[in-house]
Structure 1
Amino acid sequence: MSNGHYWLSEFRALNTGIKACIYCSEHQFSNLIPEVQDWFVHVDRKFSRFLPDSELTTLNGSKGKAVLVSAAMLEVIELAEYYKKKTNGIFNPLILQALESAGYSQSYELIKHGCQLTKTPSMPESEDIYIDSSMKTVRLGPDHKLDLGGIVKGWSVDRISVWLKNEWHINRGMINAGGDLFVWSDSSDLEPWTIEIRNPLNPKQGTERLSLYRGAIATSSVLGRQWKTSTGQMHHLIDPRTMLPSQSDIIQCTVIGSNTTDCEIAAKVVCILGSEEGTEWLMNQYPDVQSICYTSAGDKHFIGNPCLLK
């Protein structure tokens, strides 16, 4: 570890900022960082709903026909189905039409200052995604469209972190994709990573600091992606029970655990369910995680044991 240095690379992909901070030699860094960047660009081109030639756009336009998909697409869709069952449908990848109807039909930087609404869709009678793993095909209902943005962020962070540790033998690093991050450190002679979680209503005060040697953190918020419409403010966290932006009392939830994808889904579900129901669900499904939630009234709630707070 004495021959290493911290190296930082920042770039954009997945419609968000990506940071890779790695403790290694200069030679290692110069070789692996292009691979890290290429990974996120590859994921973006495959899963973006804003690119007309992405694999997800092709699947969403299949009009009820079975489509041969890549191994990565199959893996993420099967993962989405797993989380849909685990959350009793509160996480639901079939909310793209609701997002578009709320105005989020283009990349966020194009709509954040205002947009037009369309009629709010109802959830189709059949919510099934038909997956044939042996044939690597997926069939959506004729009225179905997938949004995989959130789950793909967590999944891509988990995948690249494992690759860096196992293939490149990087024993200390951080990958952060728009707030979905994973850190690791296999050496006890270095300080733990310190991650700051800011109060969304008062960013200059009330910052919580998390101390981790290894683990995952994900934050979901109704404030990060908002836009104006003729009927009021909208945001991107769709409640599948209403097909409208969530109206719970939670405006931001950060979950700390061992898996970035778990944390991403859990934070979103708590935001949608609200403080009372969300706390019960999180403790039942993920009893080993910690969480920090902020409400619209300015209250802060800790779920689990906040032993990671400094």
Structure 2
Amino acid sequence: MKPKYRFFPLLILIICGFSGNSQVLRKRTTLLMGGRFDITIVAQDSLTAEKNINEVIAEITRIEYLISDWKPNTQIYEVNRNAGIQPVKVDKEVFELTKRALHFSEITKGGFDISFAAMDRIWKFDGSMTEMPSAEAIKKSVEKVGYKNIVLDSLNSTIFLKLKGMKIGFGALGEGYATDKCREMMLAKGINAGIVNGSGDMSTWGKQPNGKPWKIGITNPFHPQKLLTTVPLEKGAVTTSGSYEKFVVFDGKRYSHIINPATGYPATGLCSVTVFGPNAETANGLSTSLMVLGQKAGLELLNQFPDYSCLMITDSGKIVKSKNYKLKKKSVRD
């Protein structure tokens, strides 16, 4: 049996140069929030760099124990446990994150929905599916999903899920939020360069020790051993949502593992969406939404966010980009 590896659609290739100055670069990889985090810090000495990596890990852990939907006794776990029963008071930080997530639900008409956590997992992408689920089963799988049944009370800082069995979960949006918070924390401490990459949701700031911007490589989904392009980044974020590793094909149509929470059907048409912008939380919400909405509606959504750009790759290998993103290649299948 072949071992299973988890690959991320966004390959973070940090092409580092070194100079004669006294700055050092230190990197550490760890598992947090159910995924892999790669933390890179540039500082005046190794001790300072390692100390600040420890602080980044502590901050991600703190956030995980606030918003995890599967760790007992977190605030979101309590919200889910009390679904259909009573509102639950949460910290302002959790309330505001939920409020921003609900905004994405509203502008995508449910294409993005944090109550996806209650969805029945009827689609299998491990090779075991031999036929599509029935329309009835698909409809039933999302009967507890629906952002309109999430009630926020800003006066009391409470979250209430109207239906018993409802759940909310932040998933990769939470990872994007954590990377942004760590970047803010490091900048406030005077650490002027680094990268926090949470399973492909990445916040960057500053420059490499040689004074050049970070160079981020994006992998080609049809030729994973090759890079599609490299992008220089200083203070910015990049996230990718991709389905080219997990999908099923029925009657010649490709169904991705990214499910539209409004319908219960898998997203089709796009195999990868990469979004660039100021922060990873918003970029993640956009990349997930674009995968679900598809090319036309996705680009219309992105137009509402002028500080963000995107690169889409269709199931046929065509590259589609927003007007404010430049890339010459037209296909990635070659």
TM-score by length of 1: 0.84
* Aligned-partner SS, 1:246: coil
For 1:186 and 1:86, the matched residues in 2 are separated by: 35
Aligned to 1:67: 88
For 2:196 and 2:215, the matched residues in 1 are separated by: 13
Unpaired runs of 5+ residues, structure 2, are: 1-19, 330-334
* Aligned-partner SS, 1:95: helix
Aligned to 1:183: 204
Unpaired runs of 5+ residues, structure 1, are: 105-110
Percent identity between matched residues is: 23
Q: Does 1:217 align with 2:238?
A: yes
Q: State which of 7, 10, 23 in structure 1 corresponds to 2:42.
A: 23
Aligned to 1:286: 305
Q: Does 1:91 align with 2:91?
A: no
For the structure 1 residues 307 and 185, does the alpha-carbon distance in structure 2 shift closer, same or farther, using more than 3 Å as the test? farther
Q: Does 1:122 align with 2:122?
A: no
TM-aligned CA deviation for residue 58 of structure 1: 2.0
The CA RMSD measured in Å over matched residues stands at 3.1
* Aligned-partner SS, 2:41: strand
For 1:236 and 1:57, the matched residues in 2 are separated by: 25
TM-score by length of 2: 0.79
Q: Cα deviation per residue 1:234-253 (whole Å; 9 max; x = unaligned)?
A: 75422133123222x11110
Aligned to 2:33: 14
Q: Does 1:149 align with 2:209?
A: no
Q: Is the 8 A contact 2:115 2:145 kept in 1?
A: no
For 1:178 and 1:309, the matched residues in 2 are separated by: 27
Aligned to 1:108: none
Q: Which amino acid aligns with 1:213?
A: E
Q: State how many pairs are aligned.
A: 297
Q: Is the 8 A contact 1:183 1:215 kept in 2?
A: yes
Aligned to 1:49: 69
Aligned to 1:159: 181
Aligned to 1:203: 224
Q: Which amino acid aligns with 2:78?
A: T
Q: Does 1:137 align with 2:158?
A: yes
TM-aligned CA deviation for residue 264 of structure 1: 0.6
Q: State which of 33, 40, 53 in structure 2 corresponds to 1:33.
A: 53
For the structure 1 residues 124 and 22, does the alpha-carbon distance in structure 2 shift closer, same or farther, using more than 3 Å as the test? closer
Q: Cα deviation per residue 1:79-125 (whole Å; 9 max; x = unaligned)?
A: 21222233333211122222x33368xxxxxx95769x875233667
TM-aligned CA deviation for residue 73 of structure 1: 1.9
For the structure 1 residues 235 and 301, does the alpha-carbon distance in structure 2 shift closer, same or farther, using more than 3 Å as the test? closer
Q: State which of 259, 266, 276 in structure 1 corresponds to 2:279.
A: 259
Q: Is the 8 A contact 2:102 2:147 kept in 1?
A: no
For the structure 1 residues 124 and 44, does the alpha-carbon distance in structure 2 shift closer, same or farther, using more than 3 Å as the test? closer
For 1:233 and 1:305, the matched residues in 2 are separated by: 29
Q: Does 1:82 align with 2:103?
A: yes
TM-aligned CA deviation for residue 57 of structure 1: 2.1
Q: Is the 8 A contact 2:194 2:205 kept in 1?
A: yes
Aligned to 1:107: none
For 1:125 and 1:75, the matched residues in 2 are separated by: 19
For 2:170 and 2:255, the matched residues in 1 are separated by: 19
For 1:269 and 1:261, the matched residues in 2 are separated by: 12
